Amino acid sequence: MACSLIIDFSPSVALTLVRTMCSREWHFHIYFHQRNADAHRAALELRDAVLRLRRDGAFVAVPLFRVNTDPIGSYEIWVPSSSFSSVFSYLCMNRGNLSILVHPLTREERKDHEIRNAWIGPAFPLDLSTLPVKSEEIPLQYPSLKLGYSAPEPEYTLEQRHRIGANVERILKGEKEAARAPTD
């Protein structure tokens, strides 16, 4: 039997979802075969490179100090949304043979790891049975940085978003390859 999912793509509903469901913090989990000396070394070198780039002001990223002791090693890097693009780009271009799981931090930790994720490189099988399904609190990390969920809201009003969108559409009218937004 076919299953259908009904999603409301009307402009007002979609815009509200974008405004309310935007993740302000992310994790990048670096996975490697820990008993493989080359992979282990590469993972730690990548972590150290991220730490140097953070120190030098390239982006904000906070790798956990601890590395898992399982046969499949991993560590996570916390990133506020303001640094997401820079960290994502750096890791894409410098991961070598390492696999990286990327996911938002929301109250639904299991969904974040299971279906709201992306892999850079080959996926690793994960046992998500120990992750909570839903948490009551927003999973903010490093509130002392005043970034991510701890940052003041620089939120655009709906009117400002409409003006920005209309201006983008006006500018893109002259671009042959840019798809046009529906006129509804």
* In a domain? residue 88: yes
Asked whether residue 165 is domain-assigned, the answer is no
Q: What is the pLDDT of residues 65-77, one digit of tens each?
A: 666 656 678 899 9
Strand order in the sheet with 62-63: 62-63, 72-80, 25-33, 99-104, 118-120
pLDDT score recorded for residue 2: 46
Residue 124 lies in a domain: yes
How many domains is the chain built from?
Answer: 1
pTM of the model: 0.82
Instruction: Tell me, yes or no, whether 84 lies in a domain.
Output: yes
DSSP H helices, the chain, are: 11-21, 37-55, 84-94, 109-114, 158-172
Residue 164 domain-assigned (yes or no): no
Answer yes or no: is 184 within a domain. no
pLDDT digits (tens, 9 = 90+) for 139-162: 889 999 999 999 887 667 778 888
Per the domain annotation, does 136 fall within a domain?
yes
Q: Residue 48 sits in a domain of what CATH number? A: 3.30.70.1240
Please state, in angstroms and rounded to a whole number, the distance separating the CA atoms of residues 104 and 39.
26
159 in a domain, yes or no? no
Banded model confidence at residue 1, pLDDT cuts 50, 70, 90: very low
CB-based burial label for 36 (10 Å; 0-12, 13-18, 19+):
middle
Locate 158 and state its tokens.
């709906």
